[in-house]
């Protein structure tokens, strides 16, 4: 499904089709930890996480940010993200499914570039915000 931001078809307040990411599990957190070099055991070792007072391990913030960036790439296309900012709001636990949404906050031209500022949110099943982010993208 094509979610690409088309300049003539979007206006401020436009909401893009949501994207869900499930399959969040300890094995994914471990694989991401190995690939990224984030060896913090609170993401990969259940006993260690519990000793710290958490109910279990939780996803790395940068993993959730990567999912948000993938969603923005789906909207804008590869190579069209000019700026990306994120704030981690809550932990993401194994078994959760995240829903990502984006809203067009601002549409403008800068030189010959047609740009859009997006507000992007990643929420859990109960609507709890996990990540709050903003992106500037180039529109087609």
pLDDT in tens, 43-95: 999 999 999 999 999 999 999 999 999 999 999 999 999 999 999 999 999 99
In the predicted structure, residue 112 carries a pLDDT above the cut 50: yes
First to last CA, the chain: 16
**Residue 109 confidence (pLDDT):** 95
Instruction: Compute the mean pLDDT over every residue in the chain, rounded to the nearest whole number.
Output: 94
Helix residue ranges per DSSP H, the chain: 26-36, 46-51, 61-76
pTM for the whole structure: 0.92
pLDDT, mean of residues 82-109: 97
Domains of the chain and CATH, by start: 7-25+58-138 (3.10.129.10)
pLDDT for residue 1: 35
pLDDT at 3: 60
Task: Identify which has the larger pLDDT, 23 or 140.
Answer: 23
Number of neighbours of residue 79 by Cβ within 10 angstroms: 7
Residue 93 to residue 91: CA distance in whole angstroms:
6
């Amino acid at each position: 499904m094509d979610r690409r931001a088309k300049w003539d078809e979007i206006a401020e307040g436009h909401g893009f089709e949501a994207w869900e990411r499930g399959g969040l599990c300890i094995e994914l957190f471990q694989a991401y930890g190995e690939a990224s070099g984030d060896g913090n055991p609170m993401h990969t070792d259940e006993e260690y996480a519990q000793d710290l007072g958490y109910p279990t391990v939780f996803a790395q913030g940068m993993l959730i940010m990567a999912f948000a960036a993938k969603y923005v790439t789906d909207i804008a296309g590869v190579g069209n993200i000019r700026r990306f900012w994120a704030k981690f709001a809550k932990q993401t636990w194994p078994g959760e499914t995240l829903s990502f949404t984006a809203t067009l906050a601002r549409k403008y031209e800068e030189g010959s570039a047609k740009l859009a500022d997006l507000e992007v949110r990643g929420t859990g099943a109960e609507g709890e915000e996990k990540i709050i982010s903003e992106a500037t993208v180039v529109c087609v």
